[in-house]
Structure 1
Amino acid sequence: MSQADLETKMDTRPSSTDDKSSQELAKPVASRPQQQATLAPDDPENPRLWPMGKKVLTTVTLCFWVLSFNYGSTAYVASIPDLQTRFNISEEVAVLGVSLMIFGLGAGPLLWGPLSEIIGRQKVYRIAALGYTAFSIGVAFSENIGTLIVLRFLAGFFGSASINNVPASIGDYTTLHERLRLTAVYALCAFGGPSIGPLVSAFVDVDAGYRWNLRVIAIFCGVTSIGVAFLPETAGPQLLERKLKRENPELLPPKKSTGENISALVTSMSRPIVFLFTEPVVMIVSLYLSILFGILFGFFEAFTVVWLEIRDWTPTSFGLTYIGLGLGFFFGLGLVGSQGQKQYEKRAAADKARGIPVQPEARLTLAYIGAFLCPAALFIFAWTAPFHQVHWIGPIIGEFLFSFGMILIFTAFIPFLIDNYQLTAASALAAGTAGRAIFGGVFPLFSIQMYHKLTVQGATSLLAGLMCVCAPIPFLFNKYGRTLRAKSKWAVAQEA
């Protein structure tokens, strides 16, 4: 093999089939850590050259796995009263089954994200799918509350590989122009799952009891985990290594010792924490999405105050109120797939006309709308939900607008992070996932007490005010994003 061929195969630039001139402008600068070697953009084995049908099938399989995790995280809520009776525990202890699973979601990505950058996505998915299924089955057959909540944490730890690594996998096999629509499917499952969980589980728990509710969760995660186990590898560095093993094993770097491998893993595991506290882009995006995630999971507990205590609805009728959240996510996805893609292509064309790579800020157009919708939706919910004289459709509209705005923000910032960090996107996403999990796990622990003491109006208005403070974030990134990226040690340099 010639030196030129070797250099092509060992291309360390972020691979994209969209615009080769952009590749030349997107080289890591000398001060940045060396990127991993990956497949060349025109290599036939590059997953970005897969046919669209294969990309869609892979995305659907991965996203149903994500859906199963999020379904299970909130479907448990319907069984809390039964668990209180069965194990003679307080509501606060029963709620730990929600919080500890979300805390597992926070801890897992610190391992699964960096590990997938070392050994590949496929191996991580198979290990995580096995543990996720096993511990979910264990939850369904637990005979005491201690075992149940510990296993819920472990199920969250292993299942978190879905929430964290799937966007990175989508980034592996999508081009810039495909990424938004397929990431939107991920976002729908990531946020649609929590709204479907309480809706379906309310009927399962009432008709079949809490045991079958937990069994349905285990069956769902087990079936989707089997599908994920058969997916092909998508990480470029691992695909390149496999190719060199077949064709030119002499070009492979020498094998590392066990100590070197452990050192590399520890270094990689620390990367999400480093990103979270040293990368302003990751720090700000993580904080914004974490607050949104915390409010969403806090809602699942707060809704019981509104619909069961104040409006005196039955558990099954209460479950139906989550349709508002689900429809918001669904219609938001429709807007992302239509207008969001058009707006991205418009911004991308403008960047190319200037002779520069497509800037990640092109992803943020719909986030501007979502930034205003979320606080407005919370105010609507606050001042309609607790009043019997106000028709129930009022707070449902508030739920709808909140989830609609939330998915606009989420589908803007996840591709934004992927575009910024590319080959280290899994670590950047892991930092954000850990932050979201902390907020999502903590909010349910105090949300009911907050709603009781501050009233529905006061508590929800407080959250709406917090979202008002966050609303300028997408606009600030649009103005200062390139400046922040230029100062980053890990973000891919994109000259402007």
Structure 2
Amino acid sequence: MSIPSGHSPGNYDPLSPHDGEHIHLSSINDSTKAVRRSTNDAPAINQHKSAELTRTLTAQDWTGPDDPENPRNWPFGKKVFHTIVPALLAFVVSIGSSIYTPAYPLVSKEFGVGTTAALLPFSLYVLGLAFGPIVGASLSETFGRRFVYMLAILIFAFFIMGAGFSPNFGCLVVLRFLAGLFGSPPLTIGAGTNADLWPAETRARTTSFYVLSPFLGPAVGPIVGGYVSVIKGWRWTQWVTLMFTAVGWVPVLFTKETYKNAILHQRAKRLGIAAPPAGPRGLTMGRQMLFTFLMRPAHMLFTEPIVGFLALYISFNLAVLYSFFASLPTVFSGVYGFTAEQSSLVFIALAIGCVLGLITIIVVDTYVYQRMFQAALIDGRHGIVAPEHRLYCAMLGSIGLPVGLFWFAWTARSDIHWICPVIAIVPFSWGNMSIFISSALYIVDTYQARYGASAMAANGILRYIFGAAFPLFTLPMYNKLGIGWATSLLGFIAATLTPVPWVLFRKGSAIRAKSKYETLKA
């Protein structure tokens, strides 16, 4: 998944004096705009009023910082609605990944495949999430966010429906992969929608709310899937996903476009004035997609220490999270004799950890980062704060991961009450959420609008590849090593990666100074 790029608080660039046409607004609202002068100077008043109220009507840029078509100037309630919609879509797509996992034993039995093979429809769905943004993000910058939401989720729904009707295992695998591929754009361009709506200084809060959805979805999916698969069969996991999709897609019909270039093109067409330069299309757009979302991210992954180490860290964390979808039902059914329905309720601990991570991010942003931002304004630094101050939550969360994994490893035993390993999942989930949001904010602040999207694309591709691969060897690893040592192995790796945010906090400024890409100098 990507996070909003940096924008100036007003989202306004100076206008060229020759763009568009001139209109007079005095006739619209003279009473509120009139210049107060002595009544003895009426001619001067009228002349000054006309000059003051003349603004350039243009489709090359906003007509000013108060342009009513700029999404950042929309009423608060309208902005909140347009923030909720992509978050809801991200929740739907992410719940579609994990809702299948409780049903894989039933798929294995119906189609006569092994348990590891039966996890392929889950893993390839996640793999589809890695590569869908390569197309979705560029299409949104050509045709607008709303168009991509409507089209991508509609196609996603058809593939989910096809997966539910699959006559054989191969068909199920292919259709689930295509569903993940076409469902992934909201996980990427939803961050862009947030950037369209909210200024940079509120980025932590809006980003936290948005990111909660694709983390909460996988936690809720097994809970729903566990009950549905037992009562109605594995195909109903796809039908329920389809129902969630309808609930998420209908609100899109009531949204407006938020992408600046698309809004300006609509204005130009409506008023018959010059349109802004069109985005690339055809082969040019294809080359740009490959460069921005594949070639440049790959280059940054191996040449930028900030991108490479954080991508590795976040990817491992997400991979462990996705491994839980395969391992937790096996652990709690084997050790404690839980039914499928009871095992699914264990994932409530993941959801609790996600919510606690969200709270942590908001509290730290309110009482630490925002104070630094205000101090930077007062000191004449234009609100510029060193990106490393985004890493506080990542440093805190880095402790929660190994603690949660080792705790789970050695309490998931028949002689210890089941609540102990369940509680252990909470610090892992809390740490995972805290690290992801904090690191994403750090990356975007570091590489800004120009390279931030490519840096996050590198992160997204690697983490979903890891997330797709890990569940396939999780069950063999647990069978070979046992619960204690298999989970401890993951804990040792997590402990080895713990210094990543701490080192970046101390050395990040020096690393940024040596970057081959333009970074924030603060």
Structure 1 contact 117–424 (Cα < 8 Å) conserved: no
Q: 2: CA distance between counterparts of 1:444 and 1:452? A: 13
CA change 1:195–1:489 in 2 (3 A) is same
Decide which of 68, 76, 93 is 2:117's aligned counterpart: 93
C-alpha separation in 2, matches of 1:442 and 1:255: 36
296, 306, 325: which one aligns with 2:350: 325
Offset from partner CA, 1:321-361 (integer Å, 9 cap, x none): 11111111122222323343322212323444553313333
Amino acid corresponding to residue 135 of structure 2 in structure 1? L
Contact 1:340/1:365, CA 8 A, preserved across alignment: no
Map residues 68-217 of structure 1 onto 2, 5 A cutoff: 68-217=92-241
Alignment match, 2:493: 466
Alignment of 1:9-28 (within 5 A): 14-17=7-10
Q: Deviations over 1:96-130 (max 9, x none)?
A: 01100011011112222344334432332233112
In the TM superposition, what is the alpha-carbon distance from 1:146 to its structure 2 partner? 0.8
The match for 2:255 is: 231
SS of residue paired to 2:338: coil
Give the conservation status (yes or no) of the 8 Å contact 1:105–1:156: yes
1:32-47 equivalence runs, <5 A: 43-47=67-71
The answer to whether the Cα contact below 8 Å between 2:302 and 2:308 also exists between their aligned partners in 1 is yes
Measure, in 2, the Cα distance between the counterparts of 1:234 and 1:490: 28
Is 1:456 equivalent to 2:483 in the alignment? yes
Partner of 1:56: 80
Query: Per the alignment, do residues 261 and 193 of structure 1 end up closer, same or farther by CA in structure 2, a change over 3 Å counting?
Result: closer
Measure the CA separation in 2 of the matches of 1:191 and 1:341. 22
Q: Distance in 2 between matches of 1:417 and 1:41?
A: 27
Structure 2: distance between partners of 1:495 and 1:215 = 50
Give the direction of change, closer, same or farther, for the CA distance of 1:110–1:282 in structure 2 (3 Å limit).
Answer: farther
> Structure 1 residues 359 and 234 mapped into 2: Cα distance closer, same or farther (>3 Å)?
farther
Kept after mapping to 2: 8 A contact 1:275/1:283: yes
1:297 aligned to which of 314, 319, 322? 322
Asked if the contact 1:286–1:436 (Cα under 8 Å) also holds between the matched residues in 2, the reply is yes
CA deviation profile, 1:239-265 (whole Å, cap 9, x unmatched): 344445556844744887855444444
Higher deviation after alignment, 315-324 or 351-360 = 351-360
Change (3 A) 1:495 1:88: closer
Cross-structure match for 1:394: 420
CA distance, structure 2, for counterparts of residue 120 and residue 65 of structure 1: 16
Cα distance change of structure 1 residues 172 and 364 upon mapping to structure 2, 3 Å threshold: farther
How big is the shift at 1:286? 1.7
Distance 1:215 1:278, change over 3 A: same
**Change in CA separation of 1:94 and 1:260 when aligned onto 2, cut-off 3 Å:** closer
Note closer, same or farther for the CA distance 1:124–1:284 as it changes in structure 2 (3 Å cut).
farther
> Are the counterparts in 1 of residues 138 and 289 from structure 2 also a CA contact under 8 Å?
yes
Q: Which range moves more in the overlay, 351-360 or 241-250?
A: 241-250
Q: Distance in 2 between matches of 1:115 and 1:278?
A: 28
Question: How far does residue 458 in structure 1 lie from its aligned partner after superposition?
Answer: 1.1
Partners of 1:431 and 1:237 in 2: CA distance:
25
The CA deviation at 1:453 is: 1.2
Write the letter of the residue equivalent to 1:15. Answer: S
Count residues in correspondence: 468
Quote the Cα distance in structure 1 between the aligned partners of 2:501 and 2:279.
44
Moved more, 291-300 or 345-354: 345-354
Please tell me whether residue 281 in structure 1 is matched to residue 274 in structure 2.
Answer: no
Deviation at 1:477, TM superposition (A): 2.6
Q: Which has the larger radius of gyration?
A: 2
- 3-state DSSP class of the match of 2:154? helix
How far 1:155 moved relative to its partner?
A: 0.4
Task: Tell me the CA shift for residue 190 of structure 1.
Answer: 1.2
3-state SS of paired residue (2:100): helix
Please tell me whether residue 370 in structure 1 is matched to residue 363 in structure 2. no
Q: CA deviation at 1:283?
A: 2.4
* Structure 2 partner of 1:442: 469
| CA distance in structure 1 between the partners assigned to 2:192 and 2:166 by the alignment | 34
Instruction: Quote the Cα distance in structure 2 between the aligned partners of 1:485 and 1:234.
Output: 32
TM-score of the superposed pair, with normalisation by structure 2:
0.82
How far apart, CA to CA, are the structure 2 residues paired with 1:143 and 1:257?
38
2:341 to 303, 310, 316: 316
- Cα–Cα, structure 1 residues 65 and 365, in superposed 2: closer, same or farther, change >3 Å? same
User: Does the 8 Å CA contact 1:164/1:429 hold for their aligned counterparts?
Assistant: no
Deviation at residue 409 of structure 1 after TM alignment: 1.2
In 1, Cα distance between equivalents of 2:486 and 2:178: 32
Runs of 4+ in 1 over 6 A off after TM superposition: 36-40, 254-257
Distance 1:360 1:429 in 2: 15
Amino acid of the structure 1 residue aligned with 2:260? G
Distance 1:262 1:414 in 2: 26
Question: Do the aligned partners of residues 264 and 305 (structure 1) sit closer, same or farther apart at CA in structure 2, a change above 3 Å counting?
Answer: closer
Q: Alignment partner of 2:416: what SS?
A: coil
Counterpart CA distance in 2 for 1:55 and 1:92 is 44
Q: Which stretch of the first structure deviates more once superposed, 70-79 or 214-223?
A: 214-223
Question: For residue 169 of structure 2, what is the amino acid of its counterpart?
Answer: I
Q: Distance in 2 between matches of 1:345 and 1:461?
A: 38
Identify if the C-alpha distance between structure 1 residues 388 and 120 changes in structure 2 by more than 3 Å, giving closer, same or farther.
same
- Alpha-carbon contact 1:370-1:405 (below 8 Å) kept: yes
Give 1:344's aligned residue: 369
**Take 1:447 and 1:255, find their aligned partners in 2: how far apart are those partners?**
44
Give the conservation status (yes or no) of the 8 Å contact 2:7–2:195.
Answer: no
Counterparts of 2:358 and 2:287 in 1: how far apart (Å)?
Answer: 42
CA distance in 1, matches of 2:278, 2:232: 58
Q: Residues 13-64 of structure 1, C-alpha deviation per residue, up to 9 Å, x if partnerless?
A: 93323999xxxxxxxxxxxxxxx98897554433233333222212221111
- The one-letter code sitting in structure 2 at the alignment partner of 1:324 is A
Contact 2:142–2:279 (Cα < 8 Å) also in 1: no
Q: Compare relative contact order (CA 8 Å, sep 6+) and give the higher one, 1 or 2.
A: 1
Alpha-carbon RMSD across the aligned residues, in angstroms, is 2.8
| Partner-residue secondary structure (3-state), 1:326 | helix
**Retained in 2: the 8 A contact 1:202–1:316?**
yes
2:430 corresponding residue in structure 1? 404
Q: Could you tell me how far 1:395 is from its partner in structure 2? A: 0.6
